[in-house]
Structures are given as structure tokens and as C-alpha cells.
């Protein structure tokens, strides 16, 4: 690999260069002869799907991991990092996807950690002064004395950025920095990044959001399955081209979807109210109906009662009042509050792809096979008299792994070692295999790359077509519109309206989601009310 | 209560010697507990104080008798505790062993090893006995560490005897508690120790050598536990006997948790537990019904602890990465 491959303006020596880097974890090759170049004053975007090896590559560049083969060069000179200390010394700073911050410590303590100003004792005033100066200089407003645990995610990221600036880093690596940010925070971050770039810093920006790539980067390195599959200049490429390189085929912008064939009523929710943890009303007196073979999308900004609603439907949270029926059978019975045990609800035919797959969907330390039978372990198929039948479980798991394209195609590895997209495939495989009457999918593509998201979408539509009622909860309007047959908008625990998907547009729904102007809301309800009646 | 009014409880509670022995009992507990605070703050769970203390006690007596010097006995105690901590640190930090299992192994090893050594060294003649100063000490007697009486202050009514007639190790312990509090919360190294215990990868990415730091943090825990054992052997009993620490290491562990992984907090808890032990000892020496209940009365501080931990002082939250081995090469 030579320098010449990277394009016209990049005639200078790259400030950092990877040459043929190889990294293996056991038999898995995370990086397979990966090369890239980044230049001072430019923003390099490194794009690729989850599991393409982006983070591994960056961890090697920053010294956290050591390559098995290949070479890293700084300004043309080969370097070898044995630990992050060496990377920091060499001027490389990384803002990690999962922040490297210590929540109980203050902003100042986090920033100076490892390089503390000291007069024998920790010189706190000096640390706070320096951090205040830095945050002033780079437009990252922060109070050095606040504890990190009390900060919003956006502000925590500022602390991370301040930290690497405090180190005097010239090469700044951002590992999926926008994954956790609101659109507003993302815009602010981009302003900061442009400023840093203009000051001559080298910026490496990892993402799988193509819109951001086009907006912020100067050049692009595309990774797929641990290999570099493209080095592009942003000015002369398109999101389409990047996407096709990323997933190895052209993007299918829309999920192919036949018109729904509605069956009988599956889920009927009447006058349901649910309390939040703070004992305020999270869900207020809502009515919902879903028919077999239909996807009902609940659109809403997060925190408007969706999570509580899902919890109640799967038996994790009692309702305050109201009724929930699945195929005519009540799901809300019980002596202590309106709640049924989750196991009973599963038996009744409800499956759920939970919002937080790592927390609720999977036991990360368990193997893929064990995760695939969670909740079904007492099924005669998998155990006899409480003794697991390993052979049958393995065979079952292998089938599902193949069917759901889980990679690596193995059922005996801990599920936590899989990429996010493949973890979600495992959850999907398990929940689908129960053949539920009602499938709840909460934020089913959160954090997934295009390929995995599309896979999930296709499977959900397939499931709908086999006659399952699907309740989709998503904060992403694109997703709501791509999948839903009908859309219910939730705002502050109330359903603002239910519309056939074809009768509303994103703007109208967006307005309702944010509590919108009542006039517009009324109008859109008026417009769609007749269609709704016809639809149901 | 009135039935007990003349039973010796009030006399016992009003007697300065109860509080003097409270501090006496609290001394070894505090040494072990504040040492463990450093280890656990760095992310290494240490349940091996009992074993480290016991090892310290044996080697204190052994060195003291052979070298005819109590100070060298204490040095040997600290070294022995430090070595045990080194074993725990090596397996827990570098080999990433389960820290509970490693700690338990240290405890069992110490119990067996010291019994064996004590029998093979002193088996035939019996354990060495303390040397009582006016009589010249013979070769195989233990040079004990006598209490200090601070002239002028020890005469203050009430508190004089409690605070100014104590063992030098008691005063050393007080200084150490303060120093460790300052170390953890006012020095750069202390900041790094806490970072390593909360989020080792964050510390690692900030350029801190987490494994080395953790290993080094386990050592003071062993050294101070060893010193606690030396105190028991040379200042309290003047001899070594099998399992003579009788659970003090575990009480120190409980005190450390009760004190929320904070040196001052741990010290406070040790005072409470020391009071329980002192109360028991003092009631044993009374006559009347309370003597029969002395064991029960002495459990009071522990009962209070359970009640307190169960919700009255809030949850005791350990350092976030306490007990979790750190692997710098993992891709997490």
C-alpha cells in the first residue's frame, strides 16, 4: 500500500498512517491488512457496518490494542505503541464510543487524570483553572467542578473532547460520537470539529451515518468485514456510493411491502393508564387496536410513555387502570395491581424485542445457543425433567443462526462478543421462533448499521405477512413510515391520533410528536379520521 | 431495665477502662480496614485481611523472639502481611483470578501455615511467653510493646486514661487513618487509585498503568493487616496462638464496607465494633445477670450495623469496578 492511493490533494505526508494492520481475536480476524491515511487539517471519515472492524482499528491507532501485524506511522515515521500512554505521548487522543469517564469524579478530575497538575498534592485549583481555560478556548462550555455523573450525555462528550485537548493531542479520533447525541448536540459537535480541523488538527471520525459523512468529512475510508473496500474523496462521491461499498450491494431505500391483509383483532387496549417510576402518570387513558397482519407504529419522542406502555404489555409494570386483551383474553389480571407475570403473557402469545437488547434482550455472557432458548428452556423440545438437551439446543440454534444470518455463523460463542446488529438478530430469532400473536418491537434498529437495520425491517414485514400483529415503537420517523400500516402518535402519555400511514406525512406526525400546534393537529386528525374508520 | 440498674451495666458504661479498651480493640481493626480501603478503591477486593493479620502475628513473635527486638518483630509482621498481599495481588491483578477465591485461599493458607510453623517451632516447649520488664528477659521470651503513658495528660480525669495511656501503635494507627484519607482524596496518586477502581479502562486510556497501580494498592493492605497482627501478638497477648486473630480480619472487612470504602468511615465503624468487643470483655468481669447476657449484649453493635446497612444510612456502594479483573488486551 502506498500513499498515492488516497487522492489528489493529499500529496503531503499523512500525519497518521496505518499500513496493513492485522488484528485477530482468537480465530476471528477483526482487521485484515487494513491501511488508511489521515492528514492535518482534514477530516477523515471511517465508515463501515457494525462489526466491520472500525473500533478495533482505532483502538490500535490509539495504543489500546496492539496489532498482530503491520505498521503505524506518524508523519512518516514508524511507531509502536505498547499502551495508550504511548499513544497519548505521540499526540493521539480518542473520544470513545462508550465514554472513558469516571462518573463520581468531577469534570476537572476526569480531564486531568493521568496528567494531573501537582505540587506534591493534587493541585485542584490549577486543574480547574486549566480546564476552564480550555473549555473557553474551544467553545466547549462546562463547569469544571460538576460531577460527571450529573451531566447529560452531550456534556459528557465535551468532557471527553476536553480531555484529549488537554493532552495536547494533534490527532483526534472520534468513535461514533453522534450515536448518543440529539440532532442539536450533533450540530454543536460539528461546529467544534470544524474549528479543530481549521486549527490544523487531524480528525478521524468514525460513523455509519452517511449524512454525517457527507456533511463533515474531507475524505473517506470504507471498511467491510475487517477490510478496506474503498478510499474516497467526499467531494467526488455520494452517499449511495459509500453505502453500496459499505454493505457490498446497493442500498434498497425502502422495504418492499405488500398492502396489509388485516385479520381479526389481536390486541385491544382500552382506557389504559400507567404510572411511571416517579409516580406521575406515564400513560393516560389510551385506546389502541391492532389486527392480525398489521404493523401499528407508535411514533413519539422518547420518554413520552412508550417504555412504560411496553413494560405493561409484557408484564413488567402494573397498570393503574384499563384493560388489555389479546384475542379476547385479558392480559391484565392479578391480585396485586393490574399485572400478569411475564411468563404468563408469553404463554398467551406475546413476544417482545426490547428497547435495550444488552440489558433486557440477552444474557451477554451466555452463548448464542443459550440465548436462543431463553424462556423456552422448559419446552419439551429442549429439556426433559429439567435437564437440558444440549444436542437438540445446538441443532435448533444452528438452524436459527443460519436463518437469521447471524455472524459469525456459530452458536457456541458468548453473545456479548457479537456486534450489535448480530446481537439483535439473535433476539429477533428467539422472539420470532415463539410464533407470537403479538410481537412488540421497541426501537428495533437502534444502533444498528444500514445492513442490519434493513434486515430487521424485512423480517418484521415478513412476520406481519404471516399474520402476526406487530406493535412497533420507534423514535425514528423514517422507521415508523417505512414499516407501519397505521401510525399512532404518543405525546405525554396520550395518543394524539391514529392514522393510516398513507394519509399522513412526516411533518404532520413530527408536529404531533412534539405536542404541535393544536390547530394543525386537529386538522390532520380531521383529515384522516374517515380513512381510519375505513381501515379498522 | 430497672432490673439491671444495679447489675453492673451502668458502672461498666461509666468506667473509663471500657473506652480505653474500646480504642485498644479498634486499633487492629482500623489498621486492617483502612489498608483494605486502598486495595478496594483500586478495584481489588480483599477479604484476606484475616489471613494477613494472622501471618503477621506469627512472624511478629518469631522475629521478636529470635532477634530479641519488638520493633523488628513489627517489621517482620508487616513484611509477612505484605508478602501475603503480594500473592493475592499477583493472582488477582496479573493472573485475573477471582478475587474472592484468591482471598479465601490466603485465609486458609495463613491458618494452616501459621499453625504448622507454630507447632514445628514451638511445639515441644510451648509457645513463647511475654517478658515482663522488671525481670531480665530470657532468650525465648517475647519482648512486648508496652503502652505509653503520656505524662501530664494521662492524669486528666476521664479522658486521660482513655486517650493518653495507649499503645504507640494506637497513635500510629490514628496518623495512618488521616494520612490514608489525605492520600486517597488529596493526592494525584490517590485520584488515580480511585479511577482504577471505578473505571479501569478509562484510567488506562488516560495513560495510567492500571495493573501496576492495582498491584501496588494491594500491598499496603497486607502491610497494615500484618501490623495489626503484630499489634495483637506483641502489644496485646505477648504470644502467638493458633487462629489468635479470631475473625478480626472479617470484622475489619465489615467495618470497611460499613464505612463506605472511606478511611474515616471505616475508622468510625471500627470504633463501634471495638466498643462491642470491649463491652463484652468488661461485662464478662462483672457479676450478676448481665454476665450471662454479655455475649448477647456484645452483639448489639453488629445488630445495629445490619440494621443500618439495611437502609438507614443509605446503600453502601462499592467502587464500580471493585472485584472485576482488568484485562487491557480485551476488545470491550
DSSP string covering A84-119, please?
HHHHHHTTEEEE-SS----TTSBHHHHHHTTS--EE
Q: Which of B42, B194, B202 is the mutation pick for testing A, counting most A CBs within 10 A?
A: B202
pLDDT confidence of residue A533: 34
pLDDT at B89 over 80: yes
pLDDT at A51 over 60: yes
Per-residue cell: A421: 446488529
* Torsion from C-alpha of A243, A246, A252, A257, nearest 10 degrees: -130
pLDDT at A536 over 90: no
pLDDT confidence of residue B255: 92
**Cα–Cα dist B241/B128, whole Å:** 10
CA nearest to A67 within chain B: B329
CB of B327 within 8 Å of any CB in chain A? no
Identify which of B194, B202, B209 has the shortest CB distance to residue A101: B202
- Chain B positions touching A96 (Cβ under 8 A) are 205
pLDDT confidence of residue B177: 98
pLDDT digits (tens, 9 = 90+) for B119-140: 999 887 778 888 877 777 777 8
pLDDT confidence of residue A337: 60
Q: Are A299 and A477 in contact (CB under 8 A)?
A: yes
pLDDT confidence of residue B191: 96
Helical spans, DSSP H, in chain B: 9-14, 16-41, 49-67, 70-89, 99-122, 159-164, 168-186, 188-198, 200-205, 210-231, 248-258, 263-284, 289-298, 300-307
Q: Tell if the CB–CB gap between A115 and B329 is shorter than 8 Å.
A: no
- Mean pLDDT of the residues in chain B: 89
Between the alpha carbon of residue A265 and those of residues A196, A320, A369, A465, the distances in Å are: 57, 24, 34, 15
Average pLDDT over residues B205-211: 93
CA nearest to A108 within chain B: B191
Confidence band, pLDDT 50/70/90 cuts, at residue A108:
very high
- Chain A positions touching B328 (Cβ under 8 A) are 64, 83
pLDDT confidence of residue A248: 63
Average pLDDT over residues A89-116: 92
Who contacts A315 (Cβ-Cβ below 8 Å, separation ≥6)?
Answer: A331, A339, A340, A341, A342, A343, A344, A345
CB of B209 within 8 Å of any CB in chain A? yes
pLDDT at B319 over 80: yes
**Cα–Cα dist A87/A55, whole Å:** 15
- Chain B positions touching A56 (Cβ under 8 A) are 331
**Complex ipTM, two decimals?**
0.84
pLDDT at A529 over 50: no
pLDDT confidence of residue A387: 92
CB atoms within 10 A of CB A485: 22
pLDDT confidence of residue A528: 32
Give chain B's length.
332
DSSP 3-state of A348: coil
Q: Tell if the CB–CB gap between A122 and B191 is shorter than 8 Å.
A: yes
pLDDT confidence of residue B294: 77
DSSP for B144-200 reads: --PPEE-TTTTTSTTHHHHHHEE-HHHHHHHHHHHHHHHHHHHSHHHHHHHHHHH-H
CA nearest to A87 within chain B: B207
Of chain B, the percentage scoring pLDDT greater than 70 comes to 94
Confidence band, pLDDT 50/70/90 cuts, at residue B116:
very high
pLDDT confidence of residue B80: 98
Total beta-carbon pairs less than 8 A apart between chain A and chain B:
82
DSSP 3-state of A20: strand
Taking an 8 Å Cβ-Cβ cutoff, which residues of chain A contact chain B?
25, 30, 55-56, 59, 62, 64-66, 83-85, 88-89, 94, 96, 99-105, 109-110, 113-116, 118, 120-122, 163
pLDDT confidence of residue A532: 35
Average pLDDT over residues B257-275: 93
DSSP for A428-458 reads: HHHHHHT--SEEEEESTTTT--HHHHHHHHH
Of chain B, the percentage scoring pLDDT greater than 90 comes to 62
Which segment of A176-190, A262-276, A492-506, B1-15 scores lowest on mean pLDDT?
Answer: B1-15
For residue A439, the cross-strand partners are: A351, A470
pLDDT digits (tens, 9 = 90+) for B213-222: 999 999 999 9
Which segment of A208-212, A413-417, B44-48, B141-145 scores lowest on mean pLDDT?
Answer: A208-212
Of chain A, the percentage scoring pLDDT greater than 70 comes to 91
Q: Tell if the CB–CB gap between A116 and B191 is shorter than 8 Å.
A: yes
pLDDT confidence of residue A272: 92
DSSP 3-state of A258: coil
Confidence band, pLDDT 50/70/90 cuts, at residue B59:
very high
pLDDT at B331 over 70: no
**Cα–Cα dist B260/B262, whole Å:** 5
- Mean pLDDT of the residues in chain A: 86
**Cα–Cα dist B43/B194, whole Å:** 8
Long-range CB pairs of B186-191, under 8 A, 24+ apart, other chains included: B186/A121, B186/A122, B187/A118, B187/A120, B187/A121, B187/A122, B188/A116, B188/A118, B188/A121, B188/A122, B190/A122, B191/A105, B191/A109, B191/A113, B191/A116, B191/A122
pLDDT at B308 over 80: no
Identify which of A85, A102, A121 has the shortest CB distance to residue B186: A121
CB atoms within 10 A of CB A335: 5
pLDDT at A174 over 60: yes
pLDDT digits (tens, 9 = 90+) for A256-266: 788 888 889 99
pLDDT confidence of residue B304: 74
Per-residue cell: A255: 422495504
- The closest alpha carbon to B280, from B296, B300, B294, belongs to B294
Q: Tell if the CB–CB gap between A94 and B205 is shorter than 8 Å.
A: yes
pLDDT confidence of residue B10: 76
Q: Which of B182, B186, B207, B324 is the mutation pick for testing A, counting most A CBs within 10 A?
A: B207
Q: Are A285 and A272 in contact (CB under 8 A)?
A: yes
Q: Tell if the CB–CB gap between A122 and B328 is shorter than 8 Å.
A: no
pLDDT confidence of residue A404: 92
**Cα–Cα dist A32/A51, whole Å:** 13
pLDDT confidence of residue A152: 82
pLDDT confidence of residue A505: 84
pLDDT confidence of residue B300: 78
If residue A324 lies in a helix (H) or strand (E), which one and from where to where? Answer: strand A321-326
pLDDT confidence of residue B313: 62
Q: Tell if the CB–CB gap between B206 and A96 is shorter than 8 Å.
A: no
pLDDT confidence of residue A3: 38
pLDDT confidence of residue A7: 43
Average pLDDT over residues B299-318: 72
Tell me if the domain spanning B2-148+155-312 has CATH number 3.40.50: no
Identify which of B188, B191, B331 has the shortest CB distance to residue A25: B331
Burial of A26 (0-12, 13-18, 19+ CB in 10 A): exposed
CA of B148 vs chain A CAs: smallest distance (Å) = 33
pLDDT confidence of residue A534: 37
Which segment of A2-11, A418-427, B276-285 scores lowest on mean pLDDT?
Answer: A2-11
pLDDT at B266 over 90: yes
Which segment of A84-88, A223-227, A233-237, A278-282 scores lowest on mean pLDDT?
Answer: A278-282
**Cα–Cα dist B101/B105, whole Å:** 6
pLDDT confidence of residue A238: 85
Amino acid at each position: 500500500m502506498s500513499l498515492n492511493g488516497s487522492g489528489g490533494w493529499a500529496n503531503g505526508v499523512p500525519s497518521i498512517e496505518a499500513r496493513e494492520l492485522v488484528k485477530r481475536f482468537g480465530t476471528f480476524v477483526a482487521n485484515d491488512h487494513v491501511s488508511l491515511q489521515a492528514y492535518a487539517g482534514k477530516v477523515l471519515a471511517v465508515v463501515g457496518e457494525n462489526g466491520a472492524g472500525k473500533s478495533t482499528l482505532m483502538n490500535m491507532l490509539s495504543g489500546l490494542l496492539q496489532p498482530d501485524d503491520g505498521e503505524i506511522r506518524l508523519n512518516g515515521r514508524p511507531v509502536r505503541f505498547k499502551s495508550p500512554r504511548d499513544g497519548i505521548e505521540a499526540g493521539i487522543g480518542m473520544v470513545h464510543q462508550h465514554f472513558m469517564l469516571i462518573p463520581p469524579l468531577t469534570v476537572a478530575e476526569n480531564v486531568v487524570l493521568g496528567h494531573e497538575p501537582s505540587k506534591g498534592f493534587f493541585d485542584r485549583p490549577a486543574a480547574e483553572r486549566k480546564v476552564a481555560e480550555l473549555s473557553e478556548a474551544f467553545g466547549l462550555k462546562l463547569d469544571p467542578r460538576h460531577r460527571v455523573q450529573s451531566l447529560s450525555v452531550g456534556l459528557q462528550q465535551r468532557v471527553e473532547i476536553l480531555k484529549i485537548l488537554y493532552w495536547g493531542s494533534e490527532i483526534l479520533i472520534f468513535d461514533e460520537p453522534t450515536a448518543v447525541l440529539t440532532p442539536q448536540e450533533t450540530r454543536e459537535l460539528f461546529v467544534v470539529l470544524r474549528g479543530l480541523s481549521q486549527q490544523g488538527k487531524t480528525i478521524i471520525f468514525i460513523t455509519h451515518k452517511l449524512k454525517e459523512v457527507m456533511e463533515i468529512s474531507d475524505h473517506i475510508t470504507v471498511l467491510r468485514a475487517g477490510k478496506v473496500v474503498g478510499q474516497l474523496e467526499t467531494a467526488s462521491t455520494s452517499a449511495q456510493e459509500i453505502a453500496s461499498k459499505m454493505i457490498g450491494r446497493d442500498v434498497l431505500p425502502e422495504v418492499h411491502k405488500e398492502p396489509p391483509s388485516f385479520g381479526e383483532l389481536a390486541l385491544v387496549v382500552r382506557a389504559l393508564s400507567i404510572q411511571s417510576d416517579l409516580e406521575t402518570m406515564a400513560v393516560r387513558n389510551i385506546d389502541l387496536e391492532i389486527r392480525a397482519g398489521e404493523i401499528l407504529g407508535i411514533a413519539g419522542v422518547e420518554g413520552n410513555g412508550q417504555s412504560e406502555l411496553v413494560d405493561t404489555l409484557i408484564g413488567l409494570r402494573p397498570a393503574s387502570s384499563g384493560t388489555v386483551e389479546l384475542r379476547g383474553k385479558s392480559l391484565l389480571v392479578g391480585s396485586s395491581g393490574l399485572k400478569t407475570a411475564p411468563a404468563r403473557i408469553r404463554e398467551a402469545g406475546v413476544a417482545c424485542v426490547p428497547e435495550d437488547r444488552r440489558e433486557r434482550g440477552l444474557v451477554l455472557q451466555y452463548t448464542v445457543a443459550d440465548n436462543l432458548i431463553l424462556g423456552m428452556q422448559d419446552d419439551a423440545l429442549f429439556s426433559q425433567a429439567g435437564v437440558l438437551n444440549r444436542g437438540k439446543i445446538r441443532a435448533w440454534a444452528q438452524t436459527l443462526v443460519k436463518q437469521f444470518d447471524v455472524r459469525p455463523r456459530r452458536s457456541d460463542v458468548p453473545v456479548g462478543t457479537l456486534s450489535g446488529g448480530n446481537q439483535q438478530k439473535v433476539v429477533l430469532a428467539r422472539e420470532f421462533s415463539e410464533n407470537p400473536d403479538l410481537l412488540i418491537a421497541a426501537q428495533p434498529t437502534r444502533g444498528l448499521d444500514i445492513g442490519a437495520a434493513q434486515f430487521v425491517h424485512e423480517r418484521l414485514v415478513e412476520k406481519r405477512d404471516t399474520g402476526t400483529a406487530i406493535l412497533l415503537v420507534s423514535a425514528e420517523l423514517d422507521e415508523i413510515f417505512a414499516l407501519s400500516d397505521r401510525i399512532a402518535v404518543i405525546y405525554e402519555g396520550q395518543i394524539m391520533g391514529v392514522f393510516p400511514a398513507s394519509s399522513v406525512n412526516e411533518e404532520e406526525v413530527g408536529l404531533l410528536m412534539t405536542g404541535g400546534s393544536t390547530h394543525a393537529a386537529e386538522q390532520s386528525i380531521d383529515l384522516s379520521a374517515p380513512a381510519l374508520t375505513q381501515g379498522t | 431495665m430497672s432490673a439491671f440498674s444495679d447489675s453492673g451495666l451502668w458502672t461498666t458504661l461509666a468506667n473509663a477502662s471500657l473506652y480505653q479498651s474500646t480504642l485498644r480493640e479498634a486499633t487492629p481493626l482500623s489498621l486492617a480496614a483502612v489498608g483494605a480501603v486502598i486495595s478496594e478503591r483500586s478495584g481489588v477486593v480483599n477479604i484476606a485481611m484475616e489471613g494477613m493479620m494472622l501471618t503477621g502475628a506469627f512472624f511478629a513473635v518469631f522475629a521478636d523472639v529470635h532477634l530479641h527486638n519488638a520493633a523488628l518483630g513489627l517489621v517482620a509482621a508487616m513484611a509477612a502481611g505484605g508478602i501475603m498481599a503480594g500473592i493475592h495481588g499477583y493472582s488477582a491483578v496479573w493472573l485475573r483470578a477471582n478475587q474472592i477465591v484468591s482471598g479465601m485461599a490466603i485465609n486458609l493458607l495463613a491458618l494452616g501455615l501459621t499453625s504448622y510453623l507454630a507447632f514445628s517451632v514451638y511445639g515441644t516447649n510451648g509457645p513463647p511467653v511475654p517478658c515482663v520488664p522488671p525481670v531480665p528477659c530470657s532468650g525465648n521470651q517475647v519482648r512486648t510493646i508496652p503502652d505509653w503513658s503520656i505524662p501530664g495528660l494521662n492524669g486528666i480525669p476521664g479522658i486521660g486514661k482513655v486517650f493518653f495511656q495507649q499503645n504507640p501503635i494506637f497513635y500510629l494507627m490514628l496518623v495512618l487513618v488521616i494520612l490514608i484519607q489525605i492520600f486517597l482524596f488529596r493526592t494525584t496518586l490517590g485520584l488515580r487509585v480511585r479511577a482504577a477502581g471505578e473505571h479501569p479502562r478509562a484510567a488506562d486510556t488516560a495513560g495510567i498503568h492500571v495493573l501496576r497501580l492495582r498491584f501496588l494498592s494491594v500491598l499496603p493492605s497486607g502491610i497494615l493487616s500484618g501490623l495489626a497482627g503484630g499489634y495483637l501478638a506483641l502489644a496485646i497477648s505477648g504470644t502467638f496462638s493458633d487462629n489468635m486473630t479470631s475473625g478480626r480480619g472479617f470484622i475489619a472487612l465489615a467495618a470497611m464496607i460499613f464505612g463506605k470504602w472511606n478511611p474515616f468511615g471505616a475508622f468510625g465503624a471500627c470504633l463501634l465494633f471495638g466498643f462491642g468487643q470491649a463491652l463484652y470483655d468488661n461485662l464478662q468481669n462483672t457479676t450478676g445477670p448481665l454476665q450471662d447476657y454479655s455475649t448477647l449484649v456484645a452483639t448489639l453493635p453488629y445488630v445495629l450495623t445490619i440494621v443500618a446497612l439495611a437502609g438507614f444510612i443509605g446503600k453502601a456502594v462499592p467502587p464500580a469496578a471493585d472485584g472485576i479483573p482488568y484485562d487491557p488486551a480485551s476488545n470491550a
